[in-house]
Structures are given as C-alpha cells and as structure tokens.
Amino acid sequence: MKILSCTSPGEFDYLDAEKPQLSEGRALVKIKRIGICGTDLHAFEGTQPFFSYPRILGHELVGEVMEIEENEEISEGDMVTVIPYFSCGICVACRNGKPNCCQKISVFGVHEDGGMREFVSLPVSSLVKKDGLGLDQLALAEPFAIGAHGVRRGGVMPGQFVLVIGAGPIGLGIMEFARIAGAKVIAMDVNEKRLEFCRDVWKVPHVVKAGASAHEVIQEITNGDFCDVVIDATGNLTAINQGFQYIAHGGNYVLVGLQKGEIAFSHPEFHKREATLMSSRNATREDFDQVLEAMASGQLSVESYITHRVRFDRVKDDFQSWLDPETGVIKALVEV
C-alpha cells in the first residue's frame, strides 16, 4: 500500500505500508479523492499549529467502503465522506454536544496520520453518506462544513451584511453559506485574482481589496452601519486585528482562521459596540448534513471550486506550487 508522508516541513516521501487490519467499530475505506486544504499547505511550510512530523496529511476525503461490520446505514460498496475530527465523547465539550472542540480531539491528518494513502481504517461513527452525490461533491463536504459551521456560529440572518475576510477555499465556503442564509455578502482579500473569482465566478455582490481604503469602501456599502457579522478566514494576524474595525454596533466577529500569534484590539471601540468575539473550530455532523443536502438540492455547486486536479503519484511534484498565489489555485483535488 502506497502512502505519502510529510516527513518534515517542505519534504514529502512515498512509503510502503501494510493494508490496515480492522478492529471493532471501524471500517476499511479505499480512498478515491483527497482535497488539499490550507491546513495541509501550512503543515508543509511549517506554520500549522497543533502539528508534529512526520505526518500523513489528508482530511478532505471520499472513499469506497471495502469492509465494515453489519450496519443499518452504511454497507460495503457505499461511497462515503469522513468527519475527520475524532472526539473522546466524555469531556465537557462532548457532553454539551460540541465534539468539534473536544478537549482531547484528534484531527485526522493533523494530530494523527491522515488519508493520503490507498486504504484507511476509520471509525464507523465518522462516516457519512448521501445517495446521489458524486465523488467530487463528497470529497469537498468537509471544507464547506467548516464554512457552514462558521456561518452558524455567527448567527447570520437574512438581510444582514456579512464580511468574509479571506477568499481562499474556506472563505468561499463561508460566503456560500452566508448567501444561502440570505445575507448580503462582502468578500475581502489582498489578492486581485481571488477577488475576481469571487465577483465573476462565485457571484459575490461586493468585493473589497484589503488596504487603507477598505474601511471607507465598507462604510459606503453598508450605508455607514458596517457589518452585522465579520468572519475571518485568513488566519493572518494583521487581517484578524484589522477586522475589528468593520464590526457593526451589536455585531459578531467570528475567527475561523487560526494562527500562532496574539490578537490585539481597542477595548473601548470593541466595548462601545457591545460586540461579540468568538472562534469557530472544525464542524459537526449537523454541518455536514447541511452541506450534503445543499449539494443534493442544487443550492451548492462545487465544479468551479475545483481549479486543479492531480493524480496521487504527482502530488509530491506539484504540491509546493500550490503555495504560490500566482498559480490561481482555489482547490486542488487528488485522484487516487
């Protein structure tokens, strides 16, 4: 069995391994597609928190169930996606229905080896299927679930102005679910090509170039009210700190992006708004179900989201190029 391991920052190696043996409560899944996430890219360049090497990457997955115990919902031959956040089930977060932020969470491809291999053994409880969806759709359920969760955390309502900072894969997913929620979406980024994608392909009604004039532009778009919900999807410290200035009075600021530094903001400006600051980590089964239903109903399309495709045996050669914004990559999909 071939696997692709990130042995250290900037280095990949193909390895051979035995096909996994099943234990109780697990299924053997043959991987068909792997989405490349910002988490994978940051791990490769050595900037990903919660990470150690060597590590097999890959948590945006779809595969065919090859072996499974008798189960009412999933059978051998089913195509499934994976909820890649494995929780303990007993900590305070799990007891309160928030397994996505479990105290002892283990994220597939981050805290433990992930799916860049032919076969994986996975907990049956982490598998999700939806009849009628294709491999590409199922493979991309996870990044869109991250977006759906961020929108739900922000309490987005119809008619609200929602500013999404960062027009990468996660930011685009946030924009889509804000749109589905009935919000008026504003996309912000420093990259002109990504803003063009938002405007011309994703049909976002307002796009704003990050920089000195952004405050004035957003003020004009919102008729001076600023944004009911601001969601950061960059994980960039400068972008996160600047995001506080765009919150409306009474608004919410949701941090989906993650980085290692400390955020800083004006307490008086934040306090007078009675603003709410919150994080959004991972996603729940509810979010996955929402995403798959949106795909099945036609509310959510993934075709234009996929900009690059590569065979498994080419990943090692092509991966580093996806760090360069000039390649125009939104989502790279690996076909196994």
CA distance 241 to 262: 9
Burial class of residue 199 (count of CB atoms within 10 Å of its CB; 0-12, 13-18, 19+): middle
Q: How far apart are CA 274 and CA 175, in angstroms?
A: 25
pTM: 0.95
> At residue 88, what is the residue type?
C
Main-chain dihedrals φ then ψ at residue 64, nearest 5 degrees: -100, 130
**Domain boundaries in the chain?**
2-140+306-335, 147-279
CA dihedral 89, 90, 91, 94 (to 10 degrees): 40
Q: What is the pLDDT of residues 26-61, one digit of tens each?
A: 999 999 999 999 889 989 998 887 788 999 999 999
Residues in the chain predicted with pLDDT less than 50, given as ranges, are none
pLDDT of residue 1: 85
147-279 classified as CATH 3.30.1370.60:
no
Asked whether this chain's domains 2-140+306-335 and 147-279 adopt the same fold, the reply is: no
Q: What is the pLDDT of residue 215?
A: 98
pLDDT in tens, 192-215: 999 999 999 999 999 999 999 999
What pLDDT sits at residue 78? Answer: 98
Per-residue model confidence (pLDDT) at position 72? 84
Classify domain 2-140+306-335 by CATH number.
3.90.180.10
Question: What is the token pair recorded at 220?
Answer: 């004009």
Report pLDDT for 36: 97
Q: Report CA 273 to chain centroid distance, whole Å.
A: 29
